[in-house]
Copies of this chain bind each other. A is one copy, B any other.
Amino acid sequence: MSHSNEVQGVGVIGLGAMGRGTAMALHESQLDVVGCDIVDEARLAFEREGGKCVASPVELAHCNVIVVLVVNADQVETVLFGEQGVAPCLAEGSLVIQCATVAPAFARDLNARLEAMGLAMLDAPVSGGAAKARRGELSVMASGTPGAFSQAEPVLDAMAATVYRLGDAAGVGSSMKLVNQLLAGVHIATAAEAMALGLRMGLDPQTIYDVITHSAGNSWMFENRVPHILKGDYSPLSAVDIFVKDLNLVHETGRELAISTPVAASALQQFTAAKGAGFGREDDSAVIKVYQRLSGITLPDAANDSGGV
């Protein structure tokens, strides 16, 4: 690796579910990591685990790799270009690894603006959840120039089990993530809908799970999320709000490109209703409560949990 590609400091912006785990995984590798979050508790939690922290992105100006693990495009905008944004202060040739789920058009525009400032960008949305983030085992759907990939390599090695290299152009990583989110979001809503119909027909919920996970109706999300419903445990691993956001990105991208996505639109309405009913911060499997509120079904209750799943 050439000298210019050496990582002189990694700033991780956003110490939420994904960010804190990733920052810790990077910290445990040989990298010099500084975390950044405006939320005091997020910084304190990272510091308790031995991490270094700052409250403002601009304090990461000495880093030559910035990993952006915030929730949406507005936050990406703020941490890079806002009043305390770090982008204008980075040394020429520094790299921004953009990991948020954003519209492909936003990723392309962001890349153009960073390039104009002499900075490199990798469009690199992640998936895998908080537990895999902590183990440095995320999946990364990434696109960018060979130079950006080379510069990112030590960081990606420490945070990801799998890196899909999707080509040179910014936006491709974000496009692939959007395809995944369309499927994931619809599958969660459909798992809830199928469980609700099954319960309404009088089927035993555990039996539905056992049969469907061995049948053609199975999905990764059905298998992963329905146990939350069976336990009556809606503690958020990934929240309803995330799919309101991500299926809205699908909708907006479809509108821009004039391609209709009616199945995703219907799932979006169910997540939107779940948010409207007050379940936005619960686990995304809580979308089943929309069906519960509109029918006579009784959901499995945490208090009645037999510990079967």
Contacts and interface: CB of A to CB of B under 8 A. Distances in A.
B127 A193 contact: no
Given A166-B207, A295-B259, A215 B266 contact: no
Nearest to A258: B295
Nearest to A250: B197
Interface in A198-232: 198, 200-203, 207-208, 210-212, 214-222, 224
Interface string A174-186: 0110111111101
Contact of A201 (B178, B210, B220, B295): B178
Choose among A182, A187, A190, A264 the residue with the greatest number of B CB atoms under 10 Å from its CB. Answer: A190
A197 B253 contact: yes
A234 interface: no
Interface residues of A, number: 69
A14 interface: no
A263 B197 contact: no
A220 B221 contact: no
Interface string A125-159: 00110000000000101000000000000000000
A164 B209 CA distance: 12
Contacts of A198: 175-176, 179
Q: Report, nearest first, the 3 A-B pairs whose CB atoms are least far apart.
A: A183-B217, A219-B219, A266-B266
25 contacts: A104-B201, A141-B211, A166-B203, A166-B211, A175-B201, A175-B202, A176-B203, A179-B195, A179-B197, A179-B198, A180-B217, A182-B194, A183-B194, A186-B263, A197-B259, A201-B253, A215-B220, A216-B221, A216-B224, A219-B220, A260-B291, A260-B294, A262-B266, A262-B270, A263-B267
